[in-house]
Amino acid sequence: MTQLKQYKRFYQLFREVSLVVHSKRELDDVLEMVVSRMVQGVNALGGVLCVVDKDSTHFKTRASYKVPGSYLALKPLAGEKLSPWPEIDNGIHIIEDIFKSPRVRFPQKAWDTGARVMVDVPLLIQGQIFGFIRLYFSDNPTLSEDVLAFVTAIASQSSCAINHAAEIKSHILQYNQLATKVDRMSSLGRMAAGIAHEINNPLTGILLYSSNLSKKAEPGPFKDGFEIIMQETQRCKTIIQGLLDFSREKKPQKMLVNINGVIEKALALMDNEFFIRRIKLLRDFDSDIPSFFLDGDQMEQVMINLLFNAVQAIKEMGTITVRTLSNEEKGSVSVEVEDNGCGIHKDIQKKIFEPFYTTRAEGTGLGLAVSYGIIRNHQGQVKITSEPGIGTLIRLTLPVQDQGDLEGEMTQ
């Protein structure tokens, strides 16, 4: 075969492989074709494609071409623990004496099929070998640079196909897990709302009667007991209200509001808390921020939750910085609450907005979950940056909506 004809043959086979790799065919069918085209391209007796078995240290056969079934039935065909790869550069490995190589498990059976030399072509993903294509030859093959380039290119296509299939499988698994979680959270929300309504009325009665009895009781153990009953009942009502807020996800009542004014109202409510704990408050407001449509009451609730968590992280004698920034190019406004408190470990940063997750013994774990829902209903985003022992920064990014945006949203 002339060199030109060989080039054309290699190109045609590679093109066929490339097309099928990027098609929607089943992975096993793709791998079978990959092995067949590689065998045809180098005139080998046959070939097998092996990948590492996650449940053991062996390599299992995923595809084959022109290899007798009686030989394929001998599993596994490759030796155990083939890492590290024999070639330092993870290149192609030639087995010239199949009886002396630890990589061949059934040399006599291979010899009986006519194999005298084996060539292992590694399969790599991100530089890591996870399998190989083994080619069987009746004599020592001539592996020119062109041949080596061809088999390497075909092996690369195999790796792409396997990696693509693994990614799709991973995405499907993640989607199913997310769908299950969403369904579970939806059921939890409905259950929480039902329980909250059933418990709220008797709690109101307990609070009312204990308050009346407390007023009539003389100072002493009985009055102190009534005070404790009232405090604990009020705490239960707070938890119930949090459950209701979480389950309802009340639709924002948007009006033209200036975010700086909303934040000032929240800071005024927290002013006494800052004073008692000797916490220094720094304001860094963008005075050019335009008024835009949002639910001021809900946003005030979000700010109070964020500020309260910052206070809890600091305990005493720390600093809280509140910033607002306008981004005209992106049409958004950002609000940042930064503290120099204890910080949040990276492993739990994703959990803090989940309902009922809290690190405080007296916390309900609903404040930040409700806040996250409010920001989401405003089409906004929440980003957290934290370092244990240094502090935490939470950034809220909200789209600046005008009257036209609001009307368009309401008609959807």
- My answer on whether 189 and 266 are in the same domain is no
- CATH number of the domain encompassing residue 78: 3.30.450.40
Residue where a domain stops, chosen among 215, 248, 281: 248
**CA distance to 185, 196, 379, per residue, from 190 (Å):** 9, 10, 23
351, 369 in Cβ contact below 8 A?
no
Kindly state whether residues 133 and 16 are assigned to the same domain.
Answer: yes
| pLDDT value for 172 | 47
pLDDT value of position 386: 86
For position 6, what pLDDT does the model report? 61
- Within this chain, do residues 214 and 259 fall inside the same structural domain, yes or no? no
Q: Which of 137, 172, 207 is the last residue of a domain?
A: 172
Domain CATH number, residue 193 = 1.10.287.130
Give the amino acid at 306: L
Give the CATH number for residue 348: 3.30.565.10
Do 267 and 221 lie in one domain? The reply is no
Shared-domain flag, residues 159 and 184: no
Do 168 and 190 have their domain in common?
no
Query: Which segments in the chain show pLDDT lower than 50?
Result: 168, 171-172, 175, 361, 411-412
Q: Which residues make Cβ contacts (< 8 Å) with residue 283, sequence separation at least 6?
A: 267, 321, 322
Residues 12 and 157 in one domain: yes
Pair 207, 340 in one domain: no
Name the domain count of the chain: 3
Nearest-angstrom CA–CA distance, 39 and 154: 11
Q: In the prediction, which pLDDT does 220 show?
A: 81
User: Final residue of a domain: which of 113, 137, 172?
Assistant: 172
* Radius of gyration, CA atoms only, the chain: 34
Are residue 112 and residue 210 in the same domain, yes or no? Answer: no
The answer to whether residues 296 and 281 belong to one domain is yes
The answer on 186 and 151 residing in a single domain is no
Which of 304, 302, 322, 321 lies closest to 260, judged by CA?
A: 322
Q: Within this chain, do residues 95 and 182 fall inside the same structural domain, yes or no?
A: no
**Could you give the angle at which helices 27-42 and 145-216 cross, rounded to 10 degrees?**
160
Domain that holds residue 234: 174-248
DSSP string, 289-321: PPPEEE-HHHHHHHHHHHHHHHHHHH-SS-EEE
